[in-house]
Amino acid sequence: MASIAVYSVKGGVGKTTFAVNLAWCSAQISRRKTLLWDLDPANGAGFLLGIDPGKKHTAHSVFADGSDPAKLIQHSRYPGLDLLPADESLRTLDRQLDKLGKKKRLTKLVERLAKDYDRIIFDCPPVLNAVSTQVMRAANVVIVPLPPSPLSARAFETVVEEVRGAGKGHPPILPVLSMIDMRRSLHRDARAANPTWPVVPLASAIEQCAVERQPVGAFAPKSPAARAFAQLWTAIERKLASK
């Protein structure tokens, strides 16, 4: 089992889009039993998978003593892809974790889920608190979507510090250029400055994910966008294998 966090301290950079599309690649291309774990109270991952939120706000209860995460897990319409959904109860998850005082609560839950899943993918909220600290401890690799702007470059520095804060043996970080439009000079410069980073293009097919409520590979399998996520997924698997 390996766990993959999609994380940034910035919102709107493509985290949820990445998490959902990569989870789909994991289940449908690599045929791995995959859990998409939404930690963002905005609950975007469930929306993009076409799963409607439940009425009860119980997502936080996974972190309570003695709880069974399996109770909250939902199957998606794609074989091998399940969702642990988020809801508003996660808004205070950092305080809940602080109060619990268990720094490895998330790591323990991941270990427990390892018997049922080959890959766990976290869709993270854009925060720097107990939630991100626990995710950095639990993750085997951290994917950081970076739109080409000086602001996201600054956010990347903060992420690197947060990941290194997890101490010796912290997970490797894979920065990914997100929403790249090669017609724009700033974007071409960002690409030229980071030639080895994977790229996810700015694409209307990716925007359409929120309309179709499906990963791009499911409704536009031949699109360059679907290919980009498949390639990114291969790069992540390679990174995990080289550890």
Ligand X SMILES: Nc1ncnc2c1ncn2[C@@H]1O[C@H](COP(=O)(O)OP(=O)(O)O)[C@@H](O)[C@H]1O
Maximum distance among all alpha carbons in the chain?
53
Residues in a beta bridge with 75:
82
Q: Which of 5, 13, 159, 176 binds ligand X (CB under 6 A)?
A: 13
User: Does the footprint of ligand X cover residue 22 (CB under 6 A)?
Assistant: no
* Distance separating alpha carbons of residues 190 and 186, to the nearest angstrom: 6
Which is nearest to 46 in space by CA: 64, 20, 25, 15? Answer: 20
Q: Which stretch binds ligand X (CB under 6 A): 5-13, 28-36, 151-159, 216-224?
A: 5-13
Phi first, then psi: give them for residue 114, nearest 5 degrees.
-60, -20
The DSSP output letter for 170 is P
- The alpha-helical segments, DSSP class H, found in 79-223 are 93-100, 105-113, 130-138, 150-164, 185-193, 204-212, 216-219
- Residue 148 as a binder of ligand X (CB under 6 A): the answer is no
Q: Does residue 46 interact with Mg ion by CB under 5 A?
A: no
Site membership for ligand X, residue 16 (CB under 6 A): yes
The nearest distance, CB 125 to ligand X, in angstroms, is 9
**Contact call for residue 14 and ligand X (CB under 6 A):** yes
Which residues ranging from 70 to 99 are in contact with ligand X (CB under 6 A)? none
Please pick, from the candidates 72, 128, 153, 210, the single residue that binds ligand X as defined by CB under 6 A.
Answer: 210
Our finding on whether 59 is near ligand X (CB under 6 A) is no
What residues make contact with ligand X under the rule CB under 6 A? 11-17, 44, 178-179, 200, 202-203, 206-207, 210
